[in-house]
Chain A
Amino acid sequence: MASSCSQALRHHVCKSSRILRIHLQKSWPKEIVIPKKKTWSKEAVLQALASTVKRDPTASDSRFQDDPYLTPKTSSEFKLFSLSQESGRNAAKYFINTYPKYFQKDYAQPHIPCLMPETLEAQIEEASEAALIERIRMRKVKAAVDLYDQLLQAGTSVSLDVTNQLLDLICFCGDHDPTQENVPEQRNEETEDVQDEPQAKKGRASKASGLLKATWKENNNAGRIFALLSEPNTHSYSALIRGMVKYGAYSKAFSTYTDLLNNRLKADVHTFNALIIAAPEVKEKYNEKWELIVDLLKQMAEQKVKPNLLTLNAVLKALRRCGTLGKSQAFPVISEMKALSIETHNHAFPIMLCSAGAPIQGQTDILQEVMNEVSGKSFTAQDPDDAQFFITAMRICLDTKDMEQAYRVHELLGVGENWRLLGNDFQQSIYYARFFSLLCMMENIDVMLKWYRDLVPSVYYPSSNVMRDLLQALDTDNRLDLIPQIWKDIKQLGHANRQNLVEELLTLMAREKHNQEVQESFAECALDIKKIYDTGDRGKVLLSWTAGSLIDLISVLLAAHRRQDAWEMLKLFKTHNRVPSEELLNKFLTCVKEAGEVNQAVELVQISAGFCLPETPKLIQRVQQEFELTEQQRNMLSDLEIQTFNSD
């Protein structure tokens, strides 16, 4: 039987395969095209695996260890931990570079150059061109300049290329060695003895130079070396002009440019970019500035220098300073640049957007156009201001209250490499703060909470202002029952010591009457808040009681029928010199009446009299009417009545 079954099966298979073959022969073309062999990159498997994994909203940033003790919970902790990790790396780098002989053994095949110790000192000692090139490569400005002087004095000529490289280095670094960021004192000393250049410096520039930037000194090395050159070429002029523009010597830059033209040399695209940036600083009136820019562009066309992306960016940045004229000119500029087939990256637009100050409708239109163009594409950073794109876009969405656009912008962030354009941690927090505020304003509470759970605290640590926005959103949507959860988050984020945030929380809880469970949770939350007020580390007081906060807290406790706790809190009025309000005392009296505590009622009246409240006679009347009093208590009350009557 089995054999006949198998035979039948075989027959069936043969038949079906024959049918299949016939079908295939009909549908297949006569020619069989063999596809080209696909070559995969070495990381293809890893990339495919990585595309299956999304961000984990319950974990903190990947640079931290996955342990509750070691996870940062507030934004200050985030900064502290990442900085301490970096400083550990720097400490290790110091040891590696100071004792390189222990790290020379090379296990790695192929060789990994970034894991070898760096040579910090220049190797070649004797005065030669090779030594100069080495010092330029290591960015040792002073040593390079000294060596150059030495070479010239010794009589050896230095080639124009190397001199140009030296000029590049000096002009880029501003004639001092590139110092580390954590040594600001040195920079300040250098800028102290700068002589003021009356034309180049405006008020703003001098303030900035005092703080961060060095400025272009009158007789610095770049100018001197440039003067020593017998035949400066385009590159040398370009280096000098760009250095001058970078460090604020704008009019000098223009005079150098005139020199260049007098020497019948052509300027390159970088020079023109620098000059366009410098143009608004040199002229006063808007139309003069614009005319200068147009003039430069015309010269660029004459000298057959092709403009690039940075040119467009420079023009748009300059137009920012041109006021109303700038706004009208920006679009034609962009369309012309498009005609020249320069890739107008999204980066050009935010600068444009900043320039379009007043007309808000204009801004949304521009943003819409931009988003239509760039959605779904991945970009790389090409201009130093590119990191501002997402922040500016989100600011416009916030100003115009446009939720759709905000979602589109946020989606763009997830495409490809675009997350790199978000900037450093600080800029990231600004972006998310704006996104969150917009969500709080515009969306209903469920969507808001979904985003909240997704982003907080894995990506973003909200500030106390954003938490207040969140509370207001809860209020608007009538979801005040979520307040205890939000309070836990506030405590974890470290905002529990903000006076106005806590007071707003208490006010929201005390305002209305809710059902029993909610009131219970409110009472727990209120007692928790009370702990914050009372205890401080080593006697340090974090928050001070105000009348409003005390009243709110006691109301919340009373609403949950926590009479004992409320009674203890009432004593705090005296200790902190705050006055209770009338309705609070009335509420308390009602609560006491429900419990039937006559003694407490009398004590309440005494407290009220102690504060000399105008409500006291009414309270006395209420107590006399509603309670059953003993003789002693009745006497006490009548005494008080007389007292208050007399004092009025």
Chain B
Amino acid sequence: MATSLVRQTKLLSIVSSQLNPAACFRNIHCTAACLKNRAARIREGKGDKSVTYEQAYHPHHIGHRKGWLSQHTSNLQGEDGAAERVVEDVFIRRFMYGTFHGCLADEVVIKRRGNLLVICAVMIQKLLPSKFYFLIGYTEELLSHFYKCPVKIEMQTVEEKVVYKYL
């Protein structure tokens, strides 16, 4: 089926070029779309969906009305390791989401200062403080051993998820 599609595309391009020789080549887009205009945006709904500040503002507001969720220096000129940092960040976010299940009030902010990895999280006061401390000790120890660098968690708690608006 793929080969027939390619042949059809070639046919189509030949036909179109012959029809309009001044026009540039336009082929059929057969890879997955990037959807840059739908990423990280919650669409407006009936008005019953609560969103936090982070979720309410769209990616083009980063740097203007939002801050960065992940802070490291690999994106500077001459620095490398950006891809590894991204993969680490994804792992850390999933880890936090699973370990503190149902407790996260907002996205986790990850900061790197030298060797130190600081995970800043806002939690809902769903568990007892002793249970929070158990999970904090567990996370810090496990992630330090996994990434071979000191990992610290800075946690703040709120009584319930802070709603910015309803969409």
Residue positions of A touching B, CB distance < 8 A: 64-67, 69-70, 72, 77, 80-82, 84-89, 91-93, 95-96, 102-103, 106-108, 112, 115-117
Q: List, in ascending order, chain A residues with CB within 8 A of B142's CB.
A: 92, 95-96
Please tell me if the beta carbons of A89 and B148 are within 8 angstroms of each other in the complex.
Answer: no
B15 at the interface (CB under 8 A from A): no
**Which one, A88, A95, A107, contacts B134 given CB within 8 A?**
A88
Interface residues on B, range: 20 to 34
* With known contacts A103-B146, A108-B148, A86–B137 Cβ distance under 8 A: yes
* With known contacts A88-B138, A89-B141, A115–B125 Cβ distance under 8 A: no
What is the interface of chain B mostly: helix, strand, loop, or mixed? Answer: helix
Digitize B135-165: 1 where CB-to-A-CB distance is under 8 Å, 0 elsewhere: 1111111101111110001111100000000
B57 at the interface (CB under 8 A from A): no
B25 at the interface (CB under 8 A from A): no
Q: List, in ascending order, chain B residues with CB within 8 A of A116's CB.
A: 145, 148
Please tell me if the beta carbons of B149 and A107 are within 8 angstroms of each other in the complex.
Answer: yes
Please tell me if the beta carbons of B137 and A65 are within 8 angstroms of each other in the complex.
Answer: no
Please tell me if the beta carbons of B145 and A89 are within 8 angstroms of each other in the complex.
Answer: no
**Which one, A65, A72, A112, contacts B155 given CB within 8 A?**
A65
Taking A82-B133, A84-B133, A92-B139 as given, write out 19 further A-B residue pairs in contact, using a Cβ cutoff of 8 Å, ordered by the A residue number: A65-B133, A65-B136, A65-B156, A67-B155, A69-B157, A84-B131, A85-B133, A85-B134, A88-B136, A88-B138, A89-B138, A91-B138, A92-B142, A93-B141, A103-B145, A108-B148, A108-B149, A115-B144, A117-B145
Q: List, in ascending order, chain A residues with CB within 8 A of B139's CB.
A: 88, 92
Please tell me if the beta carbons of B148 and A112 are within 8 angstroms of each other in the complex.
Answer: yes
Measured CB to CB, the nearest residue on chain B to A68 is B157
From 107 to 135 in chain B, residues with beta carbon under 8 angstroms from any chain A beta carbon are: 125, 129-135
* With known contacts A87-B137, A89-B137, A80–B130 Cβ distance under 8 A: yes
Q: List, in ascending order, chain B residues with CB within 8 A of A95's CB.
A: 142
Please tell me if the beta carbons of A107 and B148 are within 8 angstroms of each other in the complex.
Answer: yes
CB distance from A115 to the nearest CB of B (A): 5
Q: List, in ascending order, chain B residues with CB within 8 A of A92's CB.
A: 137-142, 145
Q: Please report the C-alpha to C-alpha distance between residue A86 and residue B133 in the assembled complex, in whole angstroms.
A: 9
Q: List, in ascending order, chain A residues with CB within 8 A of B154's CB.
A: 65-66
Q: Please report the C-alpha to C-alpha distance between residue A334 and residue B141 in the assembled complex, in whole angstroms.
A: 47
Q: Please report the C-alpha to C-alpha distance between residue A66 and residue B149 in the assembled complex, in whole angstroms.
A: 22
**Which one, A67, A82, A93, contacts B156 given CB within 8 A?**
A67
* With known contacts A85-B134, A86-B137, A107-B149, A69–B129 Cβ distance under 8 A: yes
Please tell me if the beta carbons of A81 and B141 are within 8 angstroms of each other in the complex.
Answer: no
CB distance from B152 to the nearest CB of A (A): 10
CB distance from B157 to the nearest CB of A (A): 4
Please tell me if the beta carbons of A70 and B155 are within 8 angstroms of each other in the complex.
Answer: yes
CB distance from A77 to the nearest CB of B (A): 8
Q: List, in ascending order, chain B residues with CB within 8 A of A65's CB.
A: 132-133, 136, 153-156
* With known contacts A67-B156, A96-B145, A103-B146, A81–B130 Cβ distance under 8 A: yes
Q: List, in ascending order, chain A residues with CB within 8 A of B138's CB.
A: 88-89, 91-92
**Which one, A66, A69, A84, A89, contacts B125 given CB within 8 A?**
A69
From 12 to 61 in chain B, residues with beta carbon under 8 angstroms from any chain A beta carbon are: none
Please tell me if the beta carbons of A81 and B145 are within 8 angstroms of each other in the complex.
Answer: no
Q: Please report the C-alpha to C-alpha distance between residue A93 and residue B138 in the assembled complex, in whole angstroms.
A: 8
Among A64, A70, A91, A96, the one with the most B-chain Cβ atoms within 10 Å of its Cβ is A70
Please tell me if the beta carbons of A88 and B137 are within 8 angstroms of each other in the complex.
Answer: yes
CB distance from B136 to the nearest CB of A (A): 6
Q: List, in ascending order, chain B residues with CB within 8 A of A112's CB.
A: 148
Q: Please report the C-alpha to C-alpha distance between residue A112 and residue B155 in the assembled complex, in whole angstroms.
A: 27
**Which one, B132, B134, B155, B157, contacts A87 given CB within 8 A?**
B134
Measured CB to CB, the nearest residue on chain A to B143 is A92
Among A86, A88, A102, A112, the one with the most B-chain Cβ atoms within 10 Å of its Cβ is A88
Q: Please report the C-alpha to C-alpha distance between residue A84 and residue B135 in the assembled complex, in whole angstroms.
A: 9
Q: Please report the C-alpha to C-alpha distance between residue A149 and residue B135 in the assembled complex, in whole angstroms.
A: 45
Q: Please report the C-alpha to C-alpha distance between residue A91 and residue B155 in the assembled complex, in whole angstroms.
A: 20
Q: Please report the C-alpha to C-alpha distance between residue A86 and residue B136 in the assembled complex, in whole angstroms.
A: 10
Please tell me if the beta carbons of A115 and B137 are within 8 angstroms of each other in the complex.
Answer: no
Q: Please report the C-alpha to C-alpha distance between residue A112 and residue B132 in the assembled complex, in whole angstroms.
A: 28
CB distance from A106 to the nearest CB of B (A): 6
Q: List, in ascending order, chain B residues with CB within 8 A of A106's CB.
A: 148
Among B134, B145, B146, the one with the most A-chain Cβ atoms within 10 Å of its Cβ is B145
Q: Please report the C-alpha to C-alpha distance between residue A86 and residue B135 in the assembled complex, in whole angstroms.
A: 10
Q: Please report the C-alpha to C-alpha distance between residue A92 and residue B131 in the assembled complex, in whole angstroms.
A: 14
Mind listing 26 A-B residue pairs with CB under 8 Å?
A64-B133, A65-B136, A65-B154, A69-B129, A69-B157, A72-B129, A80-B130, A81-B133, A84-B133, A85-B136, A87-B134, A88-B134, A88-B138, A88-B141, A92-B137, A92-B145, A93-B141, A96-B141, A96-B145, A103-B146, A106-B148, A107-B147, A107-B148, A108-B149, A115-B144, A116-B148
Q: Please report the C-alpha to C-alpha distance between residue A93 and residue B146 in the assembled complex, in whole angstroms.
A: 11
**Which one, B135, B145, B155, contacts A88 given CB within 8 A?**
B135
**Which one, B140, B149, B155, B157, contacts A89 given CB within 8 A?**
B140
Q: List, in ascending order, chain A residues with CB within 8 A of B156's CB.
A: 65, 67
Q: List, in ascending order, chain B residues with CB within 8 A of A77's CB.
A: 129
Q: List, in ascending order, chain B residues with CB within 8 A of A84's CB.
A: 130-131, 133-134, 137
Q: Please report the C-alpha to C-alpha distance between residue A65 and residue B145 in the assembled complex, in whole angstroms.
A: 21
Q: List, in ascending order, chain B residues with CB within 8 A of A64's CB.
A: 133
Please tell me if the beta carbons of B135 and A115 are within 8 angstroms of each other in the complex.
Answer: no
Q: Please report the C-alpha to C-alpha distance between residue A106 and residue B149 in the assembled complex, in whole angstroms.
A: 10
Q: Please report the C-alpha to C-alpha distance between residue A85 and residue B135 in the assembled complex, in whole angstroms.
A: 7
Please tell me if the beta carbons of A70 and B157 are within 8 angstroms of each other in the complex.
Answer: yes
